[in-house]
Amino acid sequence: MPLFYYARQSQLATKAGVKTWHLSLKKVGKTVDTQSLAESIAEKSSLTPGDVQNVIRNLMSTMRMHLLNSRTVRLSGLGTFTMKARTRGKGTEKAEDVNPNQVTALRCQFTPEYTRPAAMGTTRALLQGVEFEKWNGTVTDDGNSGGNGGGSNGGDEENPLG
């Protein structure tokens, strides 16, 4: 299944006064939850959906423990997770004045794993073989979005315009 996209006009004009158009990704169907993921994984293994869910829960709590102890977590074949703190607009003039009260946002950054085959350059495992298709309001695959035009109208779209 491809990544669906549509055109979105920028709210901000360029220096020339033109509001440019940008590609934005469209999410379709329902969000895949842990139960659905566990069932899909169980179909490909000898584990039950309950076993897989237990492993996922334990993975999340163990990753959280390591991430909150200033560690980076790398899952081979998937990617790397690391914590990032933002202190936007709250800098200090002296290094000794830096403190946790400056943090305006804390997030977990994910970087997909990449390989560097000599002939192809760098490729990211999760992004390899991606295809794009212009969003036309329907999905013909396995019914991920109903017959009402599909997709979610929530705020799930990736917006490169911020």
Contact 124, 114 (CB under 8 A): yes
In this predicted structure, what is the pLDDT of residue 137?
Answer: 79
User: In the structure encoding, which two tokens stand for residue 87, read together?
Assistant: 């202190």
Q: For residue range 30-89, what is the model confidence (pLDDT) as tens digits?
A: 999 999 999 999 999 999 999 999 999 999 999 999 999 999 999 988 899 999 999 888
Running DSSP on this structure, what letter comes out for residue 2? P
63 membership: H or E segment, kind and range: helix 49-67
Question: Given CA atoms 131, 34, 79, 151 in this order, what sign does their dihedral have?
Answer: positive
Contact 83, 106 (CB under 8 A): yes
65 membership: H or E segment, kind and range: helix 49-67
Amino acid at 160: P
Q: Is the pTM of this model over 0.85?
A: no
Higher pLDDT, 119 or 133: 133
What is the pLDDT confidence band of residue 129, given thresholds at 50, 70 and 90?
A: confident
Average pLDDT of span 146-152: 38
Nearest partner of 27 among 145, 127, 114, judged by Cα: 145
What is the C-alpha separation between 146 and 57, in angstroms, rounded? Answer: 30
Higher pLDDT, 140 or 32: 32
What is the C-alpha separation between 28 and 138, in angstroms, rounded? Answer: 9
Q: Is residue 148 predicted with pLDDT exceeding 60?
A: no
Average pLDDT of span 110-134: 70
Q: Is residue 110 predicted with pLDDT exceeding 60?
A: yes
